[in-house]
Structure 1
């Protein structure tokens, strides 16, 4: 187990943990939560042996193998598949030693290495790495591309795959979902459910934490407080603790009453659609947990629009993307006043392209974008963090948008986004990603947009800020389109969904549970297509052209898994034939009575030793061949 006693950690003059005690039992899956800057990543660095505690002790079993996600990539010329396999350092060491062994002079060591390689699952390594890459959203034709050809987000996926490839007893995952779409995130949840070791995960995605974690460790005033259960259990238990300690009781009551009033109004006009009812339940949960948000001190309010034309925006037969690479074709849709739409789809399907086209960041390649008179778009995307002025303060950023506004009005507004007092006068450059995201969002909604287009607005935000943003968006009285992998945010703020898939956009009749079923049906269709040509029990909502593409991709993936195994079988068969030939030669020598004469004693000893070694290698090779053959038959079945 992991046991910490009297643990003190500092970063500069800031005390992160002060005399903290905690225990993590073998096989536990633990979520680590706390605000940005609390010390979560520093704790991981300590467990990884990258730093020492300032006081106290932390003990881990000496035999435990630790795997974690690297934050940087240095070998960018390495092929993606080989880069992932490199995560298994023992395997790579054995392979390097195997290549360096002189087979003629070091036969015994060669046999030992072959046995160790078999124990390290060397012959399934490529197939396992390919499965990780497919699960995390990589296409087969990308397996052999150099790491340098991928964007930053996809490189982080490669780092994640590399960490999962490493055999480990303790897995440290720091924000593993930041660059994943919903499909990849659901795959990762299933992968972790079957992982036999101990998992510690830092994440601001509350539904991911709730699906993965069975224990929560919360950074709370220099201590690590342990809560039993998932993230929802943690919220409920912590809310009760806050109530019992009377923290900001009056503020809690005002917050709860305010939310209850909003929920009552929403219920009165909500349709009976499944997603609307899901939203009612999510809003009720927010009201019950108002004390947690009140204690966080962040109170985001998005101004209501001054006017609301209807429809606000429409696309007619639009082709969207880039001149050499159109992504969406024949898109026809209308954004009605008051709509609250979540946009679903796999990474790379075109969600961001659709939002950019609606925001007029991308001009249609064909078709027409029609905007209503009086349309005011508020567009938030991750690249907006990069265009913030690093030398300016939050107050200066807002003053540039509103030069006529009084300073106190600007300060009051920024305070709701967490920029109070001197923090409003601090330079943006040294701020964290979450703080920059809060500022960018504050600038986006200052002009009272009647249409909010949000592309992953919760990335980099800590849990408390996500809750504040969720509440603000739930109450926003304008129109909103949201791309997000944060299921709690989607569940709480949108009333309907669009799916971007197969080069088109369509309405999705259902909620997130239905979408999960849709994904499962899609995966079942891929498996069925691989094992029986023409099987088509996939989703009825996907047209035939898209279905054929899915079937082809499934066949390619199965072929990709079979090819390395078939190549390995051919290599093993050639090795067995070579060993059998040599064994027959040695059998003939052993059968010669002259071999045992005194003059040939040294030759006799050498022949008998080689015969034993060849026989052992032949037996080991046959056993490996059988294992590979069984794996190939399992794939074919």
Structure 2
């Protein structure tokens, strides 16, 4: 039999096959189908030994003879019938040896005569003529020179030559091209009587229905095997696609509550733009739904026991840090905010503006320098920040961690709960030390929400999380009936989770009426306003008598300073753009894998999970780079603006 194991095949930089397994049994008649350029003819070249696999193995029984149709037919004066007989290379070799023998070598002549009989030498002319007649050549054409035939008829001669060759494996690449109906029907009968294995490439579906008994389909760099003819293949593939669609539909149903949340917002004029952002976010969630269905991560945040309103108030708060000598370092001033029951707020602001300081103050980890933090009776805060990962006991297990905060709970209840966060099997009793950052973040989040908080304060919760957990977290937060305050660079998480935004900037916190696109425009406008103010201030200070020599010196120094500031920014921008291009190419490849119906078979569960993880990591990296690119562009634009009006 023919067996491929982990087969990899490329044509230049294009991946034709990757990690592909298939088996072709002796005597099988296999149709090879797929889009143009998928790699069908290249697979034939591999079978014929004309090229090597890029990965894996392809084994063919050593004793098998392979016959195939030559694409280039000699333009010589050889008679057509002799050209066809030449396809039997073994016979021609025996005939040449017999012709070259010394008439006195009777022993060798007897051996060769016996070999010629076994090779059916005496019926070669009639067999060639039968092939020529079947393919539409009239008797008067059998002795015509090959170079007198047109290109289409020469291809028929090449087909007859391939059929003439004794073989155990016959490779036919588009054999029906240039054949009329009579010749096509004859070829169907000839193949039906052939005793060996046939692998054929054809776009003629009726021919495939008549000849093929199984199908190998090129599908997103894989070969998928189907039993039966071409019509049966279509039916089976439609069922596979239907099953894949069902997986998508299951996840669509799981996001129904998120959709209803969107619908509620559409009814509120003040939330219209944010609702539209939710619609786009939902579309992305549905795109990854088949993979999410296989992730095994289904985060559920318990419903709070109570929901006071308001939950928390900051009244004229000044917050920041105290030095060792007792001095104050204020970060935010005059903060006057109220967190209502059920509110869902995204906290925006550039790095270093004070977002984490605000979250720590709300959580009670950082006492106000002035003003008052007023917590309602019944407030239960669940606070997640990256530093909490470092507080995990690395020698303990997830089960032990949860048991410490829930000593009265049954072990099976704890196991079931942790399973929803992706800690199943041995993972629930394995030590935390070797876990990845994402796994630790999942565990920290699980420990926080076990307490049934009514206010979740989340500072970059999606850092280190793969796409499985990000999608599960987004769904869980969308369904959570409590209050959420979220600091995140994950725009998808923000779009699917929050209702309102606060902006931390210029040492204060203000409500923002808009969505993330409005925020981007706000950032650019704010930078432009700051540049205008700087120019006006400089113009005002330079009025009156000016020392032109000193001013030119100052301008030159300023240009040098700006050049020095711009150089590292431009260098980093160039590096980021290259990384972004590479990540976009990687995501295109991963998207193609995600769209492959074969990916959802039970045998490829581990591959699905790996693909999902890779997609999530690439998407996360690209999002982070895009945010950094925007920040750098804003900085560069500020530097490149003229310093004088």
Which range, TM-score by smaller chain?
0.3 to 0.5
TM-score, with structure 2 as normaliser: 0.47
Larger radius of gyration: 2
TM-score, with structure 1 as normaliser: 0.47
